[in-house]
A and B are shown apart, each in its own frame.
Chain A
Amino acid sequence: AQSVAQPEDQVNVAEGNPLTVKCTYSVSGNPYLFWYVQYPNRGLQFLLKYITGDNLVKGSYGFEAEFNKSQTSFHLKKPSALVSDSALYFCAVRDRRGGGADGLTFGKGTHLIIQP
């Protein structure tokens, strides 16, 4: 079975500093990896994805993620954090199930808190 791990429940970063939210995965075959963000009382919003190609993927709101096959990681990064980046972040992997159906398997989520 495919799985995703987000080792940190919470990450605290001062505004203006770079941020990293960690994600590691375990899949059979080529991974299709995603990051989503959830603001309070809102649904999940797509940030970025890695399917193939360049290991550094750029997404919404200035976020990027680096795919590292040897370390089976897909860490989310941003060069300069904003207070408005404070939210719950989920890493996910596309999970091919029986019959060819695809759902997403999510990590537990990481609370990102940006301090002014």
Chain B
Amino acid sequence: GAGVSQSPSNKVTEKGKDVELRCDPISGHTALYWYRQSLGQGLEFLIYFQGNSAPDKSGLPSDRFSAERTGGSVSTLTIQRTQQEDSAVYLCASSRTSESSYEQYFGPGTRLTVT
């Protein structure tokens, strides 16, 4: 079946611009996660959604970052007033539920470059 998809695959933006990154989870998966992968920081947890519940935003690095999930499915990660340190690969993952025993399945990522 279809895996997690993300778009765009690559995004180049100028410093100060806003960007939106999209994630389509695996059908039927209720939990959705965003991570960031960068050379300096490795893989960092950003935000988590379980169904239609309010997200856990504990990992967001600043208030310029926000995310929403519409209808319990597709999610959008928005970065406002982008900075060069935001350059990274943004990974989305989904799992059947939020129960700890379920593995997460990752999308191919969006490579964001802020110039």
Q: Which of B33, B91, B100 contacts A96 (CB 8 A)?
A: B100
Contact between A102 and B108 (Cβ–Cβ < 8 Å)? no
* Count, chain A residues at interface, CB 8 A: 27
Residues of B within 8 Å of A42, CB to CB, are 108
Whole-angstrom CA separation of A91 from B3 in the bound complex: 22
Interface of A is mostly: strand
Beta-carbon nearest neighbor of A46 in chain B: B103
Contact in complex: A103, B103 (CB < 8 Å): no
Which of A32, A34, A97, A105 interacts with B58 by CB under 8 Å? A97
The residues of B with any CB-CB pair to A shorter than 8 Å are 4, 31, 33, 35, 42-43, 45, 48, 50, 56, 58-59, 91, 93, 98-101, 103-109
Which 4 pairs of residues, A with B, have the shortest CB-CB distance?
A: A103-B45, A101-B56, A106-B43, A44-B106
